[in-house]
A and B are shown apart, each in its own frame.
Chain A
Amino acid sequence: MRGLVFDIAHLLAGSLVLISFVMLYQDRLYALLNVFAVHALVLAMSVTWQAYVQNAPHLYVTAAIALIFKALIIPVGLHRIIRQLGIHRDIETAVGIGPTMLAGMGLVALSLMLMLRVTAEADPLAREDIAFALSIVLLGLLMMVTRRNAVSQVVGFMSLENGLILAATAAKGMPLVVEISVAFSVLIAFIVIGVFLFRIRERFDSVDDSALDDYRGERQ
């Protein structure tokens, strides 16, 4: 049983990292959103598995939140925004896909090297999960840095949050309050950034943030 528990948790966390890579690879916004929904779905599965393994029923709530908000509401909402803005055909990477993927691999290597060494004493399950969670956080950050479009930066930010939730659930005994607040912070960020997108759109007719730079008299 012990081996199976570990393997499944490992599989789910590893799939999250893999899906992060898939997100890095997407240069179309619709595809990106679909992948993000999958990302959130796998997160929900992973959290459910943790809830089952740790026998912690409150984690089911977290899983539900992840599933409902991140896998359904937010992707659907962003789909609508993209449709309204009419930017679904944009190709919007600032750095080429190849270098980004290489950088992502470097980041995963870095976080594994770091976390496995730092948490040598910890429970092996939590240890693997935290190492993967750090990779996901770093990949999310990398995505925010390498994208020019505000929508994909939002997606990067939310995948980063997914990494945080993975880390939080892997550590036993984290109270539910924190998870709800994390979920709400994501939701609030989504609303704020959504409003922000419309404002940019109204003013500049584009969500490419280089328009913002033009407005400030800067060169890219």
Chain B
Amino acid sequence: MMSALAALLFCVAALLALAVLAVALSRTKLATPLVYGATLLIATTIAIIAAMALTGGATAPTGLTLPLGLPWIGARFRLDALAAFFLVVIGLGAAITSLYALGYGRHETSPHRVLPFLPAFIAGMSLVVLADDAFSFLISWEFMSLASWALVMAHHHDADNTRAGYIYLVMASFGTLALLLAFGLISGPEGNYTFDAIRAAPHSPTSMALTLALMLIGAGSKAGLAPLHVWLPLAHPAAPSHVSALMSGIMTKVAVYGFVRVVFDLLGPAQWWMSAPVLLLGGLTAVLGILHALMETDLKRVLAYSTIENIGVVFVSLGLALAFQANGIGWAAALAFTAALFHVLNHSLFKSLLFFGAGAVLTATGERDMERLGGLIHAMPRTSLTFLVGCVAISALPPFNGFVSEWLMFQTILQSPNLPQWGLKILVPAIGGLLALAAALAAACFVRAFGITFLGRPRSVAAQTAREVDRFMIAAMVVLALLCLGAGIVPGLVIDAISPAARMVLHAVMPEQASVPWLSIIPISEGRSSYNGLLVFAFIALSASLSAYVIHRVASRALRRGPAWGCGFAATGAATQYSASGFAQPIRRVFGPMVLRARIRVKMPPPGDTAPARFDLELHDRVWNALYEPIAGAIGAATESLNQLQFLTIRRYLSLVFMSLIALLLVLALWS
């Protein structure tokens, strides 16, 4: 009997072999179903093995050393509860993505640019989670980054995609650099690169603070934490839709894993001040992400910005877990940590679902711009329904899963008076306010995304002539929608599945939910608060059917179609409907000048002139202008001036060498 870890590594090896095979096969017709079918199979296996390892009794973590990597430590891998949980997320997401891709991949114009990299990407993500020494972790991380970069560049003829790929590559390298420094710091001067050795070693407060900052940069840039999020809304939508779903839904979670592994597991006992930056950055990220999502009209970019918001939510939960853990309030820390991991799972489900929906719309209409869509609910009823489920779930409405995790998180925020530090006592409710704002804006954002895309009347010929997508894509979306509903109705199962991870990391767990009657969940204790997803679902289903029944019974049953009311105007073309930017206008009024630097120009022709009036809207990312442009400018100027060194005379080169030698000797003379 092979151990679970060996089986998982075997699966990873199979994925890598598949990637190689895909290179050979990629130009044949058979390649697409073959590769995605095999990926589906392997990813399902990974998910099942990991789920069994997670739930099948809290067994001790198993380790394995392969004779690769650094000669004196080899490549170490380990399967523990935390890794198993994230592997479930990866395996599940990858499996459903492959199912979707069986349909979506048929429309791919250049499959040879996608097929080899997708299995490699999944293999890379799994290896990051399994790695048990800094060296294999970094190698896997970089492998994952490069594979996803190749996928972003799949449609490289588009100049925007090339730019997105370039920015992604720069940010990814920068992030890996930060991770490299972080591991160098915690490995100590002796170079104890195994995670066991790092765990055992004591860490000074300075090195903890520096590691936290570096992890926030390294893992945060990959996850999309502000202000390092700028690449994400460019790169995620640039990839083919199923890859966008993987990057947004799964890869950001791998980044969260990296953060949790280092900050919670490797760094040792948490300090209370470590939570403050995590909370602040998380809160700001959430609000900033969702505001941008609300302003965006490209459907996939809306989803990418919304990913940033959700990452903010996850990081706030992690920050809360740090704060409570540092103060020895284990039950609250476990609650926050469970909320974070629950939200990780949830976001991977509904963000994949939404990206699949956007991909379906893209396949059916060739459009990503919401201003050119509309009325798709008639042409694509199944896609619309599943997309609606995704929208409701991400807006955190019961009875879906998004509600549960955000509810758990707000339950934790309500425990903030238990914290002894006054700074945190004040900060945590403020962050709670930010998150409440973000939650409300998210609801608005997805009302807009669904309403403009699927409701109303078609705004373009493409939207008018759309057809429903094929059964693989529908099947994948239905599976995800059912999972969203299931996790919302029986959250106790998920919470219990997370508790081994919480016990491993925090040595504390939430109360066991399986024993609570009627599938309720009780985050703290019976007397405080409880939530029953099944009850809410039953109530909604019953009351909705009842009112439908009453309406159809009592009122007329005849179906009437009439012209839409045009508010008294004569022209009632599709262009007179609410547009996506029109819908966002009230919120733009409030936040525009401050956060988004919105600039609106209205050009009205004088009376009598028949020229059309023009309305131009410019939005700027403040972070981009304030942080990235100066840095890029400085680097550009520096390289420009260094460029002159290419054209010196021989004597000047010699002088340069001579002067630097003298300078170094002087330093030595003055210091020693």
Contact = CB atoms under 8 A, between A and B. Distances in A.
A117 B649 contact: no
Interface string B641-672: 00000010111001101100110011011001
A147 B654 CA distance: 11
A213 interface: yes
A105 interface: no
A31 interface: no
Contacts of A220: 649
A91 B439 CA distance: 81
A199 B499 CA distance: 78
Contact of B650 (A110, A118, A141, A212): A212
A94 B654 CA distance: 13
A216 interface: yes
B665 A111 contact: yes
A182 B651 CA distance: 24
B658 A218 contact: no
B1 to A, nearest CB: 60
Given A110-B666, A111-B665, A141-B658, A118 B651 contact: no
Contacts of B662: 107, 110, 138
A218 B661 contact: no
Interface string A130-156: 000000001001101101100001000
A114 B651 contact: no
Interface in A2-20: none
B658 A118 contact: no
Given A110-B666, A117-B669, A117-B672, A209 B661 contact: no
A183 B657 CA distance: 23
Contacts of B668: 114, 118
Nearest to B648: A218
A213 B649 contact: yes
A150 B628 CA distance: 47
A145 B654 contact: yes
A118 B647 contact: no
A189 B535 CA distance: 89
Contacts of A107: 662
B669 A110 contact: yes
Nearest to B653: A145
Contacts of A144: 654, 658
A96 B668 CA distance: 29
Q: Give the most central of A107, A117, A210, A213: most B CB within 10 Å.
A: A213
B638 to A, nearest CB: 22
A158 to B, nearest CB: 15
Given A107-B662, A110-B669, A145 B649 contact: no
B672 A110 contact: no
Contacts of B661: 138, 141
A213 B651 CA distance: 10
Q: Give the most central of B651, B654, B665, B668: most A CB within 10 Å.
A: B651
Contacts of A113: 669
A218 B647 contact: yes
Contacts of B672: 114, 117-118
Nearest to B657: A141
Given A141-B658, A144-B654, A210 B669 contact: no
Contacts of B650: 209, 212
Interface string A95-114: 00000000000010011011
Q: Give the most central of A107, A114, A212: most B CB within 10 Å.
A: A114
B649 A209 contact: yes
A147 B661 CA distance: 18
Interface string B500-526: 000000000000000000000000000
A60 B29 CA distance: 78
A148 B651 contact: yes
A151 B114 CA distance: 60
Q: Give the most central of B647, B661, B665: most A CB within 10 Å.
A: B665
Contacts of B666: 110
A117 B199 CA distance: 43
Contacts of A111: 665
Contacts of A216: 647
B665 A114 contact: yes
A213 B665 CA distance: 31
Contacts of A110: 662, 665-666, 669
A15 B484 CA distance: 89
A117 B666 CA distance: 13
A103 to B, nearest CB: 9
A153 B658 CA distance: 13
A216 B649 CA distance: 9
A218 B669 contact: no
A139 B650 CA distance: 18
A209 B651 CA distance: 8
8 closest cross-chain pairs (CB), A and B? A114-B669, A145-B655, A213-B649, A141-B658, A145-B658, A145-B654, A209-B650, A113-B669
9 contacts: A94-B651, A110-B669, A114-B669, A138-B662, A141-B657, A141-B661, A145-B658, A212-B649, A216-B647
Interface of A: 94, 107, 110-111, 113-114, 117-118, 138, 141-142, 144-145, 147-148, 153, 209-210, 212-213, 216, 218, 220
Given A144-B658, A209-B651, A216-B647, 7 more contacts: A110-B662, A110-B665, A113-B669, A138-B662, A141-B661, A144-B654, A153-B654
